[in-house]
Structure formats: C-alpha cells, structure tokens
A and B are shown apart, each in its own frame.
Chain A
Amino acid sequence: MGPLAPFEIISENTNFLLAFFIGIAFGWVLESSGFSSSRKLAGIFYGYDTVVLKVFFTGAITAMLGLLFMSLFGWVDLDLIYVNPTYLTSAIVGGVIMGAGFIMGGFCPGTSFCGAAIGKIDAMVFIVGLFIGVYGFAFTYGLWEKLYFARYLGEPKVSETLGLSDGLFGLLLIIAALGMFVVAEWAEKKFPREEY
C-alpha cells in the first residue's frame, strides 16, 4: 500500500503539505531537545553534552524499526523508498567540510534555522554563511564537477554491502547505538561543564 506518493494514494501536492507539517513538527522536536543552542550542539565534539548523538541515533533507529516493521506487515514497499545515491569522494569531502563548519559555527544547517526561529543572532549569522557557501559552490560548480561525481557507487545499503539481511543489520545498529549512548553518558560525566 505504501509509500503513499509513488502509489498515487496521495497527490504530489498533498505530499508537500504533509512534508510541511512534518517539517514543523521536526523543528519543534529539535528546539525542545535543545538543538537551538550552539553550545549544546558543539558539546558533542568536547564530550560535555552528547544530546546530538542521542537524539539523532534514537530518531534513526526509530525510523529504521518503523520502516522494517511496516515492510514486514506489507504496508510499505522498501524498494520504492528513495535512497540517496552515493558519490564516495564528495561524501567524504563534504563530510569533512560539514564537520569543520559544525565545530566552528556551532550549528548544522537544520539546527541553524531552528536557532534563528527563536531569535538567536549567532544562528542568523550562520545562515548567512550557509548561503554564501551555497552560492559560492553554485557559481564555481564547473571547478568541482569532476570531484562532485567521482566514485559513484549507485544506491548501496550498508546491509547489502555487508551481505546481511536488513533485519540483522538493524539489530546490530541498535546494539551499536545503545553502546554509543553508554559511552556518551560516560563522557558527559568525565568532561563535565558547569554552565553552557
């Protein structure tokens, strides 16, 4: 029966409307988890606050379990779910740039809008920087094009690459996530910061 849009159970416009509401709910959850504070976000790199890791990994394993169970019940066809194509080189280079920007700016793109929405000036400055980056890339696209499309791997899933079933990989990911949460809580005790 699902996914809804490719099977034309809902129209493209309804799809966008749903995305709009889901986006608002996502922003609200981000804000209420404390993601609008750059000090809290940067804490993941220093160990005093690991909420980023916990929220995102909880979100990831929840969504993963939801999709796998919906597939099990015959509610959704996983083959029709959009998977981002992987360009290995640009994924690595982009990841490094994104990580560096995250430490320096204290925000990632989504959370900067979250911070700006509640009036954080540093978040607004971050957004300006974000647009400079976007336009800078767009206007010099010719220089990067080869790098951008280098080492195309198709749309692999980790479970396929490792030769595991989706369910088994899911279980391993859950165990890994819980293990990381334990380490994260240990780090929070080890590198505490009184006020931030």
Chain B
Amino acid sequence: MAETAHAEPPLIAGEAVRIGDDGRPTLIGSECADCAARVFPPVALCPECMGEDIRPLALGRSGRLYSYSTVHVAPRGWTVPYVAGYVDLPEGVRVFTHVVDADDHRLSMEMEVELTIAVLGSDGGGRALSSYAFRPRGMEEADA
C-alpha cells in the first residue's frame, strides 16, 4: 500500500474518515443491508431495524451548509473562534463539522461546501488536533 502524503493524520474522527492514497479524505458512514438506512458516523447496529448486516458507506465530498455558528467560547483544546456547522450530504445524512477557510460573513445558508482536513485545536500535550472539516466549494479559485 502506498504511503499517504498526509502530514497530519486525523486524530479524532476514528473510522468516520478515511484518507485515500491521493491524500484526500472521505467520510465513512454506514448503510444497513436490510433496510437501507444510512447513518453517520458509522455504527455496528442499524438504529432503524436492529439489523447487523452493516456496510461501510463512502459519502460524497460535497454538500450544502444547513446552518452554522461562529463559536467564541469552547472547552479547552479547540482553537477559537471556529465555525460550527451542519452539512447535508447527497446520501441524506447530516454531518456536524467545523467550517474552515471562511469567516462567518462569507458563509450563507445552503451554500455548497466541500470536505477537507484541518487542524482544529491541540491536545493537552500541545500536539495538533486535526479532523475532517468542510470549506466553501471553489474557495481557492475565488481567491486567485
């Protein structure tokens, strides 16, 4: 298996995020083979039908921002301020996320956002704490 080029592996999302060989992240949910229920983060038991035949579900990398809030006061470890948001993905699941690369004023309801990896804070030992996050889609082009 090829080495991933990623310098800062996600520390806090566990099995809910997978880094591909190209270094790009994918969120992993679950799909129930019995009732087709879709869940994020992944589960071992279907919360709809109690089925145990659960398959990993790779989720789309972009979605729509349902709502967001710039957080100024948070438990120790998080770099504040940060933007908390909910993103609705095409598979029908809603994901809680940090929204990065945009301040509050550049965000809007239902805007298109895309998955990325970001440093979100640090642990007690000063090590970077990173996880999946979303950012406005096409931000880099817009900045250029």
A pairs with B? no
